[in-house]
Amino acid sequence: MRLPVHTACFLMRVLAVELRLVAVPLVRPFRTSFGEETTKQALLVRVQSEAEHGWGECVASPDPRYSEEFIEGARQVLWSHLIPALWREEDVSAEDLARLFAWVRGNRMAKAALEMAVLDAQLRAERRPLAAYLGGQRDRVECGVSVGIPRSIEALIEQVGGYVERGYRRVKLKIEPGWDVEPVTKVRGAFPDVPLSVDANGAYRLADLPVFEAIDPLDLLMIEQPLGHEDLLDHAALQRRIATPICLDESLRSVEDLRAALAVGACRIVNIKAGRVGGLLEARRMHDVALDQGVPVWCGGMLETGVGRAANLALAALPGFSLPGDTSASDRYFEQDLTEPFVLAPDGTMGVPTGPGLGVEPLHDRLDATTLWVEQLDRGAGTRPHQKEAAEGAGSETRG
């Protein structure tokens, strides 16, 4: 099944691009196999066209842990290559960007952020919501939650209990060598009926098969990215040895990666993150491939602020996203989001934004309070950087 591709009603001329680094404190430390974070740093992109403005969020972290991309590298690629490529075109639409940026190898997170901003501006001008443009068929999506590695199993069970009480429809536990069989078994024992999954973020190797054989009987929805991001054949070998479906995340960066993974049997479930795959339009193409092959899809998260969270909700409204994603409420991560907060309903769902474009706007006071620096690039006028003192509590990030 292929969803109809919605073309732009008009082209637009981008006049300026603003890059802004923000640091938003987390409500509690979030630890994965990559390390611990206490603050979410995000590179925001704002474009200004003749008709409208639009926002994008880059999901790269301060350090190249999740992928080879990182915030400063994304900034340099945007500044030195992607934005100049945009300037070389008089008028563009978001659908043109993959062609314009094709000569820049990789750097998908940087490309995705600029595409999101251009698409937001384009759809604002057309008065069309992002979800409708992508082909979304739901006005609410089921929400799951990702739980980091806490200080103890008791603390983990307490956190999971709180999220279950709030209504989240899936709970994902982060695991790493030494923190796997026992905590997962204890959580399953405490919550026998809760849809439960685990995420290793590539921390294991095929030689760790006994770990996965031990958790295989625990009736998990999936085991996410158990092995290294390049280990498709080993993932396929592992999948043949266990009944629990394997879900791939870091391994899938494009439609081509997805087709290869499915062809060799490396996964039975797919996590799609627009930032990881180069943008919302590539994410939609991957969704279409998975839908054609009957493979369940869900929307992953990177601890996005409200800007990126709005895009995730729009993407998750597509029909192939049949499992609850990591689209948690704003208060799961932040005391104050950059936008009006996203709120979880008692039934564990969240509304898809219905306003034009992303349907959200960063709040000026929150931007002021969290901004570390701003740079504006004007068509034909170079760069005007403005440095600002770092917000208190700024730190490093892994991902969700």
**Catalytic sites, residue numbers:** 174, 273
Three-state DSSP class for 134? helix
Q: Which residue has the tokens 């266990």?
A: 242
Q: Say how many CA atoms lie within 13 Å of 56 toward its Cβ.
A: 33
* Contact (CB, 8 A) for 172 and 224: yes
d(CA 118, CA 96): 10
What is the end-to-end Cα distance of the chain in Å, rounded?
Answer: 30
- Burial category of 395 from C-beta neighbours within 10 Å (exposed 0-12, middle 13-18, buried 19 and up): middle
Q: What phi, psi does 79 have (nearest 5°)?
A: -65, -45
Tokens of 125: 């001008």
Q: Are strands 349-351 and 140-142 parallel, antiparallel or unpaired?
A: antiparallel
Rg (CA), the chain: 20
* Contact (CB, 8 A) for 135 and 3: yes
* Contact (CB, 8 A) for 114 and 87: no
d(CA 17, CA 206): 45
- Burial category of 184 from C-beta neighbours within 10 Å (exposed 0-12, middle 13-18, buried 19 and up): buried
d(CA 123, CA 119): 6
Q: Which residue has the tokens 């939650």?
A: 145
Three-state DSSP class for 169? coil
CA-closest candidate to residue 108, choices 66, 55, 146, 52: 66
Q: Which residue has the tokens 């990591």?
A: 326
Q: What phi, psi does 10 have (nearest 5°)?
A: -160, 160
